[in-house]
Chain A
């Protein structure tokens, strides 16, 4: 038997209540608009500057300049823009949430990789500061990792929500 707290909510009910709250239609719309604003802004900062963005990607030391870096520099800002617009309009909504979740997981991985390299060279973790090339300028790595973790969590909430308001669906409804 679950123990009930003084509000009469059992410990087993708490996650369900949290899920209901986080999947509340108004909360989901707010999350979509928040993510859309972030990624549309980030995209606009990078679109049309592939050489600059390629150089920023190269600074991660994951790959050297080559087709993969240039293709990423050309396509990624537009993917971010389309995902942002999709979150606003509700067209391909879950697809954009999935794409943003994957992108943010990759961002966290590469920022962590670069940060570990700098920490190993002797800089304390909290003082690691660089321009991640995200479109928001230079910042502390821990802040950027926290931000990306929030964007990842928000994308997952949008992706896993059972029902969305303001969605354009191309699927035929079964009668």
Chain B
């Protein structure tokens, strides 16, 4: 029993030290973000700074107009195919991609975030992280790449 406790204490010390120096480390005591997410075209004064969920048609128009698109999936999925012009921002390597991508995003521009499909939460989680970094004009395309591809819309491959 004592040996198991020694192991647990040693593991905790190493783990928290590593986490502190890991670029993708997390603050375990951070509070969950409570950011409003609204569906449809509801943009009233109450939800002026909410993350707005868009459907396929709105996403298509946004991409065609040259809007800024962020792909929250992993690099493997991104390389296989992504929405044209999308920037890779792997949500699970937040620290690494914050350094790479945030300098490319202006805080006042409209940014659309997507991931794989309706079952995937990474786009919403990433949008909330972006919100916490001060980005307030965020669109969330929940249909994701699966819906985009199944609608025969243009797809870009590679990095």
Contacts and interface: CB of A to CB of B under 8 A. Distances in A.
B15 A96 contact: no
A4 to B, nearest CB: 41
Interface in B1-16: 1-8, 10-12, 14-16
A50 interface: yes
A78 B16 CA distance: 10
B22 interface: yes
A66 B30 CA distance: 8
B91 interface: yes
A93 B32 CA distance: 38
Interface residues of B, number: 31
Interface string B13-31: 0111011001011111110
B23 to A, nearest CB: 9
A65 B124 CA distance: 14
Task: Give the dominant DSSP class at A's interface.
Answer: helix
A102 B1 CA distance: 11
Given A48-B18, A73-B26, A94-B3, 9 more contacts: A50-B25, A51-B26, A64-B32, A75-B11, A77-B15, A78-B11, A82-B11, A92-B6, A95-B1
16 contacts: A47-B18, A50-B25, A51-B91, A55-B121, A65-B32, A70-B26, A70-B27, A70-B28, A74-B25, A75-B15, A78-B14, A78-B15, A79-B8, A95-B5, A96-B4, A98-B3
Interface of A: 47-52, 54-55, 64-67, 70-71, 73-75, 77-79, 81-83, 86, 92-96, 98-99, 102
Interface of B: 1-8, 10-12, 14-16, 18-19, 22, 24-30, 32, 91-94, 121, 125
